[in-house]
Structure 1
Amino acid sequence: MVRLLPLIGALVVSAPNFAQEVDWFESNTPLTQAHKHLLNDDLPAMFSSLVEVWQLEKNTTLVPHLNDLFLQSLEVDCGKGLDNKPLPNWIKSVLVRRSDIQSPGRDSYRAHIEVESDKVIKDVTLSKWVTRTLSTDASLTSFDSGDGVTKYIKRYNLNSRMKMGLYRIDVTAEDQTSWSSWLVLGEPRAKVSVRWQSKDQWKVEKNALLNPHCPLPKLETSLYDFVDGKYNRVWSRKFESDYPTTLDSNIVDPGRYVLAVSVNHARWQGPIIVEQSQIISKTYDVSLEE
């Protein structure tokens, strides 16, 4: 209980115009209800009120405070308790990932929705409230996961970084069965990040204390070659701790590759896995001496 009071005090102080108009503990707005539910550890009710705030609130000055409130709720259990409704039995898992990709001279952005189902899926969409398409540059692919389950991946190539706010996930099967869910995305504050240290070495930086309720950030190193106009991954390895800063020798044949190093943070929104990924990439030459 005590741990949340500094946050509410900070929100009131940092938003004086709003605080003058609203008595936080006597009014009955969706925003004050979200605060009250969080104080009472009622995370599903808090999340429902937060969705309502995003749907109704037009005051852009509140956006940083909504982000602080949402991030505070993740300190309880990393988002597991935000939604107590399970996925329908025909959907086995749902994952949403935001990726910021930094290449020499160019930054790019991507959204990735992954759904596993034992039904044939017609479409998977992610849209920003109100019904705004993320991008027309999108593709849906599928892979057999075994045991009668298929993994469907919808990728959106974006012109800019996904902003915090309210989103909608929609999954439609060929038999017209459908499922949808609200998704709240906060402003990412990476607690672990990565940057290039030298030509063939990177540096992992720890920017803040990790949330003990969340999975450890994963670092992944991958090498790609370019064949027939496509990048193909030829080697990859993941690390949850003791992050390396260089590649080992003799892991691939000599040649020119693209080296990608990524740091991935994961949380939950009820049964949905939400990830934020930072990826840095550059060309990487492997010589005979190596």
Structure 2
Amino acid sequence: MAKQEVSATKRLRQIVNVISKNHFLANFYHQTNPEVIVAALEELGPTFIKLGQLLSTRPDLVSPSYISALETLQDQVQEDDFDTVKTTIEESTGQTLAELFADFEKRPFASASIGQCHRAHLPDGTEVVVKVQHPAVRQLVEVEVDLDLFTRAVRLLKYVPEGSVVDLPQVVEQLGQSLRSEIVFTIEAQATQRFYELNNGRGIFLAPKSFVDQSSSRVLVTQYMPGDSIKGLLADPPTLALPTGLSLADIRKGVARSLVENFIQEVFYDRFFHADPHPGNLFFLPVPAGSTQTTTQFQKQFGDLTLTINN
């Protein structure tokens, strides 16, 4: 118990130091210097990066300049060197890199709060993405200490109005559940495979297959999916390739409608939904000319309401 208290005390000092030197509270309150806030979140580690990712999807809470800066936390986090990655893979799976993959790109193409992603090929030639967890011991200690500190802090907040829309203790609890489940990659591997079975080929959507046998608690292997982040579709002008024969407005409207309809189906019909659909997890790829799209329809009865959706 004493060791935990010492760790918490040391971590609290680090948090206070980073917040103080970056004038975190003043900057955030006035929505100024977003790049300073992002640097502070990255320095503080996975728990705070995750908070930044959540805020990047909440334009109702932060300014456009903050949204833009916080979006970099979705796929631009400091990477681990190749020796660390190789050690993590081999210790976690019990196999050598050469046994698992025909080839493996040493440099990651993305690094997020929990892990970083490398391209590779399985021995049979299948192109895959390998998500490798950042050093696990540091994460497990910091996340648990951070969550404990958050819980204590929330209990001390005496000036939050009764009936507040935001239930802070519930937010901390949900954040804790999310982070703890993300740290165990076998959970994500199983969830990814289930999501693939439900959504791959549904309407305009493709979902990556999970290779559970090649994955472990700290390594996740999934099918490589081509395309660019959907946030490029929102740029003016767009920064990604677009299908021909359609106006930009029609493309944006069609994608938005498909995303909403598919999410409704995930929640109300499948009862299994993607809980982190930020732009870093959504890729856009134009359909080649001559390709055909299947159309599916489902109905769901909710009391007196019948919901019908065509995809």
Larger RCO, structure (CA 8 Å, separation 6 or more): 1
Report the TM-score when normalising by structure 2.
Answer: 0.26
